[in-house]
Copies of this chain bind each other. A is one copy, B any other.
Amino acid sequence: MKVKAYITLKEGVLDPQGKAVEHALLSLGFQGVSGVRVGKYITFDIQVRSEAQARDQVEKMCQKLLANTTIESYQFEIIQS
């Protein structure tokens, strides 16, 4: 199965990279852009027996490694392949 995980900074956590991108967009002449946040988009394959098992494993991966849950949130999708 294919996994797509989205790791984002929690609301209220400062995002200097997002701010830098926002300033760069404005200097390039793109107007009306605000609230830029930069997160991670992690994709991989996982070999498991069922979608439920995949969900369980990926939940644990996010908790233990992929996200820093103090400052980051995560969401993921499992795609049957």
* Bound Cα distance from A38 to B32, whole angstroms: 29
For residue A6, which residues in chain B have a CB less than 8 angstroms away from its CB?
Answer: 41
Residues of chain B contacted by A38 (CB below 8 angstroms): 40-42
Q: How many copies does the complex hold?
A: 2
Q: Which residues of B contact A18 (CB under 8 A)?
A: 42, 44
CA distance A45 to B28 in the complex (A): 17
Query: What residues on B are CB-neighbors of A7 within 8 Å?
Result: 41
Contact partners of A21 in chain B: CB under 8 A: 42, 65-66
Query: Footprint of B on A, CB under 8 Å?
Result: 6-8, 18, 21-22, 24-25, 28, 30-48, 57, 60-61, 64-66
A sample of 4 more A-B contacts (CB under 8 A), given A34-B44, A37-B42, A40-B40, is A18-B42, A21-B65, A32-B48, A38-B42
